[in-house]
Amino acid sequence: MPRECGRAPNQRTSVRRGFTIVEVLVAIIILTVGLLGLASTAALVTRMIAQGAWSSKASTRATRQLEEFHSRWTGTGCAGAASGSSSSGGFTLNWTVTSAAGGRARQVQLVVTSPTARGTRQDTFYSTIRC
């Protein structure tokens, strides 16, 4: 009877299929860590999207206010150009007007303050308006 290399003639071969409990536990741990990382990333992305939307609203408010100043002051010698503030829709706008270009223009600093989940946020915008 021919003998197979490395095996005794009466030795049985057993074929085991499947995974050991250790392999299954390691796979579950790796999967859990991956899912937790995915969940935290999703929360961060959601927060960033909301922050971007709020910044967009603040920028739109500032642009509207600066366009109003531009249409009101241009060609009038900047009559009525003065510092001030207004509030609407949860946003507070504070502007400071200073003379520029030897009195032929006005420099406007506009600060938009808005509430956030962690307090308030301030965005500052600048514009120069010719008189």
Give the model confidence (pLDDT) of 73-128 as tens digits: 888 888 888 999 999 888 999 999 999 888 889 999 999 998 887 888 899 999 99
Residue 83 belongs to some domain of the structure: yes
What per-residue confidence (pLDDT) applies to 112? 94
Give the model confidence (pLDDT) of 55-74 as tens digits: 888 899 999 999 999 998 88
What per-residue confidence (pLDDT) applies to 116? 81
Domain encompassing residue 67: 21-130
Residue 87 belongs to some domain of the structure: yes
Residue 91 belongs to some domain of the structure: yes
Identify whether the C-beta of residue 77 lies closer than 8 Å to the C-beta of residue 105.
no
Q: pTM, whole model, 2 decimals?
A: 0.64
Residue 100: which of 125, 126, 71 has the closest Cα? Answer: 126
